[in-house]
Chains A and B, each alone.
Chain A
């Protein structure tokens, strides 16, 4: 009788453990969203940002991208394939020309067309002020492809969608 009671308690604890793991472990969708959250955080720049934070963000940004990332935009000079080091350098250089920068993502629609691949459609808004005091406000619809490599979702391709075609 006592043994049965122990078995029942152990079984109950196992079930409870499984429920807790399922409930609190982030879904793949949440993990993908987290990558966008990090990209937004690391690209953005406040007026009080110090040199240490700047260097750390520059180093971290590269870790979000695959070894090679394809970029297709309406600026032909920007389109092409970039290594993560090139992306870090490019973003760092762009950030040095602005005193304040904010990158925000809206309306993320995430689908998984195949295993370990995520396709995300979203609206990106980049606002900021250049060191010369010029205001910028750019909005683009983007289609991003991320690949899961060693348990991390990495940006593989970013395409700008042409909403208005001149």
Chain B
């Protein structure tokens, strides 16, 4: 999530953040793995039913280009359109300077969203 959040930095997770609301673009969310000890911080770029794609590093949701001021590094990603499934969100990190195959991103079940960073 560079440069928004630094690798290895300490963050507090606000677990009640999505108690009465749903994650939406451009929220930063904590996505859990098997338990709660290891999590990823990712940005929500699309919600269920939306179509997401990358063209020359630019994000398109439902065919419309999305402004992303938090992406500071150059990006040349291309990803064919795909629809976000029911009860899922599409998350991507802010650091998109690496090749697309090396970046951990994609569709995640909403049940894996633990909350969001406190600040």
A166 — nearest CB in chain B belongs to which residue? B106
Whether B33 pairs with A123 at a CB distance below 8 angstroms is yes
Q: B34 — which chain A residues lie within 8 A by C-beta?
A: 106-109, 121-123, 141-142, 161
Whether B108 pairs with A106 at a CB distance below 8 angstroms is no
Within 8 Å by CB of A166, from B37, B40, B42, B105, lies B105
Chain A: interface size category = 10 to 19
Whether B106 pairs with A125 at a CB distance below 8 angstroms is no
Question: In angstroms, how far is the closest chain B Cβ from the Cβ of A63?
Answer: 25
Interface size, chain B (Cβ < 8 Å): 17
Whether A164 pairs with B104 at a CB distance below 8 angstroms is yes
Question: In angstroms, how far is the closest chain A Cβ from the Cβ of B12?
Answer: 19
* Given A164-B107, A165-B107, residue A125 in contact with residue B31 (CB < 8 A): no
* Given A163-B31, A164-B91, A166-B79, residue A107 in contact with residue B106 (CB < 8 A): no
Contacts of B82-101 to chain A: CB distance below 8 A? 91
Contact with B along A51-89 (1 / 0, CB 8 A): 000000000000000000000000000000000000000
Within 8 Å by CB of A106, from B35, B105, B106, B112, lies B35
Most A CB contacts (10 A, CB to CB) among B31, B79, B104 go to B104
Q: How far is the CA of A106 from the CA of B35 in the complex (A)?
A: 8
Q: Does A139 contact B (CB under 8 A)?
A: yes
Contacts of A95-136 to chain B: CB distance below 8 A? 106-109, 121-123, 125
Whether A106 pairs with B37 at a CB distance below 8 angstroms is yes
Whether A164 pairs with B31 at a CB distance below 8 angstroms is yes
Whether B106 pairs with A165 at a CB distance below 8 angstroms is yes
Whether A123 pairs with B107 at a CB distance below 8 angstroms is no
Q: A163 — which chain B residues lie within 8 A by C-beta?
A: 31, 33, 40, 108, 112
Question: In angstroms, how far is the closest chain A Cβ from the Cβ of B57?
Answer: 16
Q: Does B38 contact A (CB under 8 A)?
A: yes
Q: Does B21 contact A (CB under 8 A)?
A: no
Q: A139 — which chain B residues lie within 8 A by C-beta?
A: 33, 38, 40, 104
Whether A106 pairs with B79 at a CB distance below 8 angstroms is no
17 contacts between A and B (CB under 8 A): A106-B38, A107-B33, A107-B34, A107-B35, A109-B35, A122-B34, A122-B35, A139-B33, A161-B34, A163-B108, A163-B112, A164-B31, A164-B42, A164-B104, A164-B105, A165-B106, A165-B108
